[in-house]
Amino acid sequence: MKILVCISHVPDTTAKINFTNNDSEFDTNGVQFVINPNDEFGLTRAIWFKEQAGASVTVVNVGGADAEATLRKALAIGADEAIRINAQPTDGFFVAKQLAEVVKNGGYDLVIAGKESLDYNGGMVPGMLAAILGYDFVNGCIKVDVNGSDVTAVREIDGGKETLSAKLPLVIAGQKGLVEEKDLRIPNMRGIMAARTKALQLVEPTGAAPATKAVKFEKPAPKSAVKLISPNNLDELVNLLHTEAKVI
């Protein structure tokens, strides 16, 4: 089984976010980037298939040269090879078109992407990718098992879970639960050394015009200062909850 894991190169959640060019572009200065957490769950599940069933695992990213460090980390975790599509991920449709070409050329059986990236939270790419390829698609996937060409997947729905059966080839959008957090892999020294010699292929993008453009970003309003109320002054607490917080 050939598995392709789509990797987003996203800012660490602890990074301080700023914008430039009249708040129309993200300021990357001083920001540390990591593997998108939803993608990391998918990568770990793919490595499990590699260890248990002999699957091959390729990771792919649409991004600039700065994303190669993130791809190398994925290789250190256990992926066999990496592909970087040399283009900026301007919008979901553009990214899905680039990934679709890689899937078509590579003949992958199972494509695993994160349900959404933690930078733009678009949640569009996996579904678009499946539609372009004409593959079945499971969104919000929290469990996947493969037996030959038969797939059993579990996904989260409102108020519960849904179990689905499908056939390969398949695209899944994974999230927390696809593996347990305690099972996420941390690259060890052997993996880091091995990653240096694994193939990282550079692919030029295909012609696909972005469908959307970010016009302006706006940060949320700063939190107001905390007000401390004496436990003996319940009247003041009730008044503030009513007049300022407007929760009662």
DSSP for the chain, written as a single string: -EEEEE--EEE-TTSPP-EETTTTEE--TT--EEE-HHHHHHHHHHHHHHHHH--EEEEEEEE-GGGHHHHHHHHHHT-SEEEEEES---SHHHHHHHHHHHHHHHT-SEEEEESS-TTT----HHHHHHHHHT-EEEEEEEEEEEETTEEEEEEEETTEEEEEEEESSEEEEE-TTSS-GGG-----HHHHHHHTTS-EEEEPPPS---S-------PPPPPPPP----TT-HHHHHHHHHHTS---
**Would you kindly state where each structural domain of the chain is located, as residue ranges?**
2-217
Residue-by-residue pLDDT tens, the chain, 248 positions: 999 999 999 999 888 889 999 998 889 888 999 999 999 999 999 999 999 999 999 999 999 999 999 999 999 999 999 999 999 998 999 999 999 999 999 999 999 999 999 888 889 999 999 999 999 999 999 999 999 999 999 999 998 999 999 999 999 999 999 999 999 988 889 999 999 999 999 999 988 888 888 899 998 888 878 888 888 888 898 998 888 888 88
Domain 2-217 top-level CATH class: alpha beta
